[in-house]
Chain A
Amino acid sequence: MSERTFRIWRGDAEGGEFQEYKAQVDEGMVVLDVVHRIQAEQANDMAVRWNCKAGKCGSCSMEINGKPKLACMTRMNIYEPDEVITVQPVRTFPVQKDLVCDVSWNYKQNERIEPFKPRPRDADGQHRMLQEDVDRVQEFRKCIECFLCQNVCHVLRDHERQDGFVGPRFMIRLASLEMHPLDTADRIPAVRDEFGSGFCNITRCCTDVCPEHIGITDNGIIPMKERVVDRFYDPIAIMWRKIFGSDSKKSGASNSNDS
């Protein structure tokens, strides 16, 4: 329908540059469609990750005109008719080639998290949980691991503190386990000491870019911070535990605003 100009970053770990392409854009197209058209017609060897093309797999994360987005869900008609579209790989992770980055660090973080540890099933072989008790956990489990939140997190992107902070994606993974009604493990000390909950200063950039609209900061990270505070810094709770002991991960967190 109209010819558009794209500037796409081409290169690898050694370096690279933007290359300009002209491409025909049809009605209803998303940015990924145009990138694919350029790939098929002009740049067969261009690297781009994608799978579902429906915003469900989180593969095609990239930065489009400076904004971190899923290319498959970014419609061309949100841009001005003569606007040049600049596409580059997400900045926080090392480039492998063109629009593809090495996101393996994220997979390593997941392995560090203590896995789900359920209580035994009921006598009839079933688990019982009420819907209202799992709504929040289900919200976190909508995550498609596009890692856009990891990409925009200041702690990871600007301060490069991958050594100290696990990032928003895995803070909500931790929250989904800690709030799981069947789970019996206690990850709160690790949330503070190993996963760096104190690094997050609640700028909510992660929440803003989440394509699944998960309340990463307000519903996930802040409650985790509160549980840490309740556990380690609340004098009443500390006194309570000294007198009555503590064997449940839920102790000291029952008053946090996370349900």
Chain B
Amino acid sequence: MLDVSEIQTVEHDVVVIGAGGAGLRAAIECSAHGLNTAVVCKSLLGKAHTVMAEGGMAAAMGNVDSRDNWKVHFRDTMRGGKFLNVWRMAELHAQQAPERVRELEDWGAVFDRTKDGLINQRNFGGHRFPRLAHVGDRTGLELIRTLQDHGIHQGFEVYMECKAYQLLRDASGRISGVLCLWRETGRFMLIRCKAVILATGGGGKAWRVTSNSWEYSGDGAAMAYDAGAELMDIEFTQFHPTGMVWPPSVRGTLVTEGVRGEGGILTNSEGDRFMFRYIPERFASETADTEEEAARWLGGDRDARRPPELLTRDVVARAITAEVKAGRGSTNGGAYLDIATRRDADFIKRKLPSMYHQFKELAEVDITKQPMQVGPTLHYFMGGIRVDADSQMSRVPGLFACGECSAGLHGANRLGGNSLSDLIVFGKLAGDGANAYIQGLSGDPQVSDSQVAEGIRKATVVLNRESGPNPFVLHDMLQDIMGEYVGIIRSDEGLAMGISKLEELAPKVAQVKAHGSSQYNAGWHEALDMESLMVISQAVARAALIRKESRGAHTRIDYEGEREEWGNKNVVIRKGPGGQMEVREEERSAPPAELERIARASIEDVEAGRV
């Protein structure tokens, strides 16, 4: 057996895996508690996928419309999530987001301002009031840079370009360490620790048309699953309605919802503003039903209702898909998104500078003069690691999760802008939770040498075996399967076929070969990421097969509409004793009466403070 004492070994109290908004916020909190903290991230610091977030972070500060408050935000979040959200998480999020945003300002963030000099807030899909604190259309960059520049002075270690490969547990099942891999040298590092906070994001790279970067391989969910944690709501994968559709090489790249928030409209090949035909009953009373009323809303009339382009993402994505299917798509198979006829060129360049830049450089389209062409792109995992709503701990002692890799806040569909606020609210709470756990811990959890040796053997066999399939080709095959059978519109037949194709692919992935040395070897890294991608792909497909209804982002052609019997159930996944994937339905506990009253109340009652 390999001598584990020869491996580079470091000790920390807590290890945060992932350096996006959630991970950095968690690390800052851990350091504030005096914990010896480390961050492990696959890329360089400041490059995590949070930089891609554009529109803003939702927080009911009421700077632009004073009628806003946490209850309205909470109600919007529950309705957007089709009432499948974890009630307590939606409550904590709505209550704490404003202070988390103001705190960023104390750390140097520079948001766009209102005329009075306060943090400006913009409209977004599903949010009743202008609620998104933003910086043009580069809010994610502002968030990550603020946390980075503040974080580097808080005393935590950052291990960059280092992949966390396996979670280690002691004999009683508690977290005791993490086995990591330096991407540059290919050498391993053992971190002994008492707690791990996962902040690894989602798994969008299982699909080809995605807004996600290569890092999004579901590592956190897959490692947690292997360590015994449960995954929940993983069938809910959000297809953002507006990704670029042309040129082919950028298909899927995000086009911010901010375009619609600033007044952009969607039309089909016949020039029809089709969203008026797709208003769900639940939102009918709060959505404009004529272009005239929508225009008044854009002009600032507070009594006018919101344009249907600002319906929730699941609704808009399905509408675009339906229009394309009906033969009314744009020349490159999407819908037209037009801001040029709604706002003047200066306004567009000021409020949407990176969209202007992105279309100009990548598609040779001037969005101040021409419409964009857009279509759905896999964007976000609502589901993930199941955690306790207050502490963010999974069922594995010492294993925490926050941000996109965790489940609960968003239910069946996430509202735009609720992700960045999720990161900072639950990143902080995960830091608090890990601290409380460590303070109450008796004895240091011990690392098992055999777990470490087995992990290293599993990772290096990919390099050492004589021959095997090309990891990039296997990844392509996976994306074919997920796009074809586990896409935006799903069915029993298709999902069953997808699962069987995944089962056929699995033995090939187990035999993958990476050529070359262990030094910064892209093929090897791809092969290791594929292990995680296979776990989360199977989890999504199996959970989607179980849920026989259409709710939020999960659309079943064979089970249309929300079904009452499913409104109170989560799909929960765990690794069975024989290593097989166990998928089960679980009845949800009854919601707290006060929260249910707020969520179900009329908007007038919530605004007037009658609930």
Contacts and interface: CB of A to CB of B under 8 A. Distances in A.
Nearest to B471: A44
Contact of B47 (A57, A73, A180): A57
Interface string A98-128: 1010010001001100011010010001111
B193 to A, nearest CB: 23
Contacts of A142: 138, 141
A28 to B, nearest CB: 2
Given A50-B214, A56-B51, A134-B110, A44 B523 contact: yes
Q: Specify which of B140, B246, B247, B471 lies most central, judged by the most chain A CB atoms within 10 Å of its CB.
A: B247
Interface in B25-76: 43-49, 51-52
Q: Specify which of A33, A50, A142 lies most central, judged by the most chain B CB atoms within 10 Å of its CB.
A: A142
Given A45-B517, A129-B113, A180 B108 contact: yes
Given A96-B184, A180-B110, A49 B44 contact: yes
Contacts of B248: 26-28
B449 interface: no
A49 B46 CA distance: 13
Interface string A169-200: 00000000100101100000000000000000
B521 interface: yes
Interface in A105-159: 107, 110-111, 115-116, 118, 121, 125-131, 134, 137-138, 141-145
B105 interface: yes
Contacts of B136: 138
Interface stretch (B142-150, B481-489, B537-545): B142-150
A39 B51 contact: no
A137 B107 CA distance: 14
A65 B136 CA distance: 33
B249 A29 contact: yes
Given A33-B249, A97-B184, A129-B113, A54 B358 contact: yes
Interface of B: 43-49, 51-52, 102, 105-108, 110, 112-113, 116-118, 135-136, 138, 140-142, 145, 149-150, 152-153, 184, 213-215, 246-250, 253-254, 354, 357-358, 361-363, 470-473, 476, 514-517, 519-524, 526
A110 B149 contact: yes
Contact of B519 (A59, A75, A97): A97
A56 B52 contact: yes
A73 B358 CA distance: 9
Q: Specify which of A26, A45, A56 lies most central, judged by the most chain B CB atoms within 10 Å of its CB.
A: A56
A23 interface: no
Nearest to B244: A54
Contact of A54 (B105, B142, B254, B514): B254
Contacts of A52: 47, 49, 51-52, 213
Nearest to A70: B361
B520 A126 contact: no
A116 B141 contact: no
A164 interface: no
A40 B110 contact: no
Given A52-B52, A52-B213, A56-B52, A131 B470 contact: no
Contacts of A115: 108, 149-150, 153
A51 interface: yes
A103 B149 CA distance: 17
A103 B354 contact: no
B247 A27 contact: yes
Contacts of B517: 45
Nearest to A138: B110
Given A44-B514, A138-B110, A29 B142 contact: no
Contacts of A238: none
B108 A116 contact: yes
Given A40-B472, A54-B254, A75-B362, A141 B44 contact: no
A223 interface: no
A140 to B, nearest CB: 9
B110 A44 contact: no
B47 A59 contact: yes
Nearest to A114: B153
Contacts of B254: 54
B250 A28 contact: yes
B601 to A, nearest CB: 28
B587 to A, nearest CB: 41
Contacts of A182: 105
Given A54-B254, A115-B150, A145-B46, 20 more contacts: A30-B362, A40-B470, A40-B476, A45-B524, A47-B522, A50-B214, A52-B47, A52-B51, A53-B253, A55-B354, A56-B52, A96-B520, A115-B149, A115-B153, A116-B150, A121-B106, A129-B110, A129-B117, A137-B110, A143-B145
